[in-house]
Amino acid sequence: MPDPAAIAPAIVLCTLNARYIHASLGLRYLLANMGDLKAQTAMREFTVARKPQEIASELLALLGPPQDGATQVIGLGVYIWNVTQSTELVRLLKSARPTVRIVLGGPEVSHEMEPQEIARLADFVITGWGDVSFAKLCRALLNGPQPLMKVIQGEQPPLSEIALPYGEYSEADLAHRLLYVEASRGCPFKCEFCLSSLDQTAWAFDLEKFLAAMQVLHQRGARHFKFVDRTFNLKIDAAARILQFFLERLTEDLFLHFELVPDHLPDRLKGLIVQFPPGVLQLEIGIQSFNPEVQSRISRRQDNARTEANLHWLTQASHAHLHADLIFGLPGETLESFAAGFDRLYAMRPDEIQLGILKRLRGTAIERHSAEHAMVYETEAPYSVLQTGVLAADTVQRFKRFARYWDLLANSARFKQTLPLLLEQDTPSPFHAFLAFSDWLWRRTEQTKELSPELLVDALADYLCGDRGLDRPNVQQALLSDYTGSGARSKPQALQGLLPKQSAPTIRKPKNLAQRQGRHLEPNQALR
C-alpha cells in the first residue's frame, strides 16, 4: 500500500513573494477553504529573486509525471510585484507540460486582463475574491462537469462562510516570518489610486472567532502580527478590543503593525495606544497629499487639521513607530505643492516618511484623469507615472532619486544627528534642502544603489562643509555620533583621526525589532 504522504498532489497553490519574510495570506485562505480537496492540495511559496525555470521545475516535480486521465492544477497568485516573473513562469509551465491547468487569481489579473499575456497563456482566471471559487473550479476540473468559461467572477460569500487561514501558518512561519492577519476586508473610502476603493464598503470578520484564532497563534509562539486591514480604526469598538487583547499578552518580543485612518483617533484608542511600550506598535498613516484640491480631485476625504493634530499626538504622547506615507505624481500636484505637504509632514516628526510614486493600478479610477492632466504611465508593471501636465519627466526622475536617498539617510535612522544640519539649518524648506543634496549626490555618484554608509558619511561631510559652508567640527561631531552609533566598523575619510580605536558597543535593542526600526529608538528607550 503506498504511503499517502508520498502521493503527488493534484493541486498546487503557488505565488512569488517579494521577499521570504512575507508569508502569503491569500494562499493560506485558499488552502483553508479547499474542503474535501485539501488532502490533494500542496502549497509552495517562492520569491521573485528565484529563476522562473527553477520554480517551474520544482512545481512539475512536485506534481509528478502526468497520469492518464488525471488532471493537474496549479493556482498562481498574481500581483503587481510578481507579474513579470509569473508570466515567464506560466510560459515555461505550459511549454513543458501543456496538459497542466493553470488558474490565475489576484488583483493584477482581476481587471483589464484582455491585453495581459499571462491571462492569454493561462487556462482560467478568477477575478475578485477567490476564497471559495478556486476550490469550486478545482472540483469541476477534477470531477466535472468541465467549466465553460475561461474568466470566472469570484464569488463573494459572507465572511462567516470563509474558513480562517491562520492554522495554515507553519512553525517555520511563526519563527521566521511576518504573519499577515485581517480583522476586516474592504474599505469605505473612494481614493482613486487604490484598488480598495472598488470595494465600496468594509466587512468585519466575527470578532470572537478572529480573536480566538489570534489566541491560538499566540499560544503557538507567534509574536509578529501585521494587520492588512486598510482601515483598522474605522470601527472603534473592534479596534479597542484587538488592542486590549494584545495589551493583555504584552511581551518584549511582541510586534504589531496597523494601518490607521489618519483623522479618526478618538480618546478611547489613544488611551490604549499609550499603554504600549517602545518597539511594539508600528502604525502606518496614509497622508498621500495635504493639497485639498488634489484630495478632492481623487475623491479622498481627509480632515487635514485633525490629521495633523493626531500625528502630533502620536509623536509626542505615544511610543508608536510611525510610518507616514506621501504619493508623488497625483493629478494636478505640482512639485511646489508636494514640497509644501512634505514640509508640513516633516514638522510633525514621524519616524519615517515613506515616499511613493503614483501607479496606475489596473481597474482603479485614477485613469479618468489621464487625458485632462496629461498623465503618462509605464506600460509594464509597476505602471509608475512618468510625467504629468505639471511634472516633467526629468522632475519625476529627480523625485525617484530623492526618495531613494531619503530612505538611505532619513528612514534608515543612520543619520539622526546629521540630518537636522542638512534639513533645518539656514533653510526654510526641508524638502528643497534635501532635493538640493539629492541632485548634488547624483552628480557626484551617478548611482542610487550600492551606496555604503562610509560613502554617505564622506558625501555629507563634503556637501555640508563645502557647498553649505557649515562649521566642520560641528559636522564631524554629528557624523561621528551617527556613524559609531550605527555600529558600522569601517573608516570614512571624513572621520579619520576621530574614530575610537575600538568601535563603541552596539546599543541593545529589543529582540523583536527589525534592525532599521530599532535604530529609531533613543538609547534609554531601547534599554527599557
| C-alpha to C-alpha distance for 371 and 348, rounded to whole angstroms | 35
105 SS3 class: strand
CA-wise closest residue to 236 among 267, 258, 205, 191:
267
Rounded to two decimals, what is the model's pTM?
A: 0.92
**β-strand partners of 377:** 385
CA-wise closest residue to 494 among 512, 505, 479, 482:
479
DSSP type of residue 384:
B
Query: Side chain identity at 329, as an amino acid letter?
Result: G
Task: Indicate whether 477 pLDDT > 90.
Answer: yes
Where exactly are the structural domains of the chain? 4-159, 178-387, 392-528
Q: Which helix (H) or strand (E) holds 32?
A: helix 25-32
| C-alpha to C-alpha distance for 106 and 75, rounded to whole angstroms | 10
Which residues lie closer than 8 Å to 290 by C-beta, 6 or more apart? Answer: 304, 340, 341, 344, 345
Q: Which helix (H) or strand (E) holds 285?
A: strand 281-288
Three cell numbers at 18? 517579494
Which residues lie closer than 8 Å to 469 by C-beta, 6 or more apart? Answer: none
| C-alpha to C-alpha distance for 395 and 399, rounded to whole angstroms | 6
Report pLDDT digits (tens) over 168-178. 999 999 999 99
Helix 207-219 and helix 236-247, axial crossing angle in degrees, nearest 10: 20
DSSP type of residue 465:
I
Average pLDDT of the chain, as a whole number? 93
| Class of the domain covering 4-159 | alpha beta
pLDDT reported for residue 511: 46
191 contacts 288 by C-beta, under 8 angstroms: yes
pLDDT reported for residue 523: 45
- HSE (side-chain half, CA atoms, 13 Å) at 79: 14
pLDDT reported for residue 296: 97
Which residues lie closer than 8 Å to 139 by C-beta, 6 or more apart? Answer: 36, 37
Three cell numbers at 175? 519563527
Report pLDDT digits (tens) over 353-384. 999 999 999 999 999 999 999 999 999 999 99
Residue linked to cell 486521465: 69
Report pLDDT digits (tens) over 302-340. 999 999 999 999 999 999 999 999 999 999 999 999 999
DSSP type of residue 242:
H
Which residues lie closer than 8 Å to 373 by C-beta, 6 or more apart? Answer: 331, 332, 388, 389, 390
CA dihedral 262, 263, 269, 273 (to 10 degrees): 40
| C-alpha to C-alpha distance for 383 and 381, rounded to whole angstroms | 5
Burial of 366 (0-12, 13-18, 19+ CB in 10 A): buried
- HSE (side-chain half, CA atoms, 13 Å) at 291: 23
**CATH number for region 178-387:** 3.80.30.20
Please report which confidence band the pLDDT of residue 528 belongs to, taking 50, 70 and 90 as the band edges. Answer: very low
248 SS3 class: coil
Share of the chain above pLDDT 70, in %: 94
54 contacts 189 by C-beta, under 8 angstroms: no
Range with the poorest average pLDDT among 249-258, 429-438, 498-507: 498-507
Q: Transcribe 146-214 into DSSP letters.
A: PPS-SEEEPP---GGGSPP-GGG--HHHHHHSBEEE-SEEE-S---TT-GGGGG-SEEE--HHHHHHHH
362 contacts 112 by C-beta, under 8 angstroms: yes
Please report which confidence band the pLDDT of residue 516 belongs to, taking 50, 70 and 90 as the band edges. Answer: low
CA-wise closest residue to 291 among 260, 331, 263:
331
380 contacts 353 by C-beta, under 8 angstroms: no
pLDDT reported for residue 524: 42
What average pLDDT does the segment 490-497 reach? 90
Residue linked to cell 472598488: 198
| C-alpha to C-alpha distance for 304 and 288, rounded to whole angstroms | 11
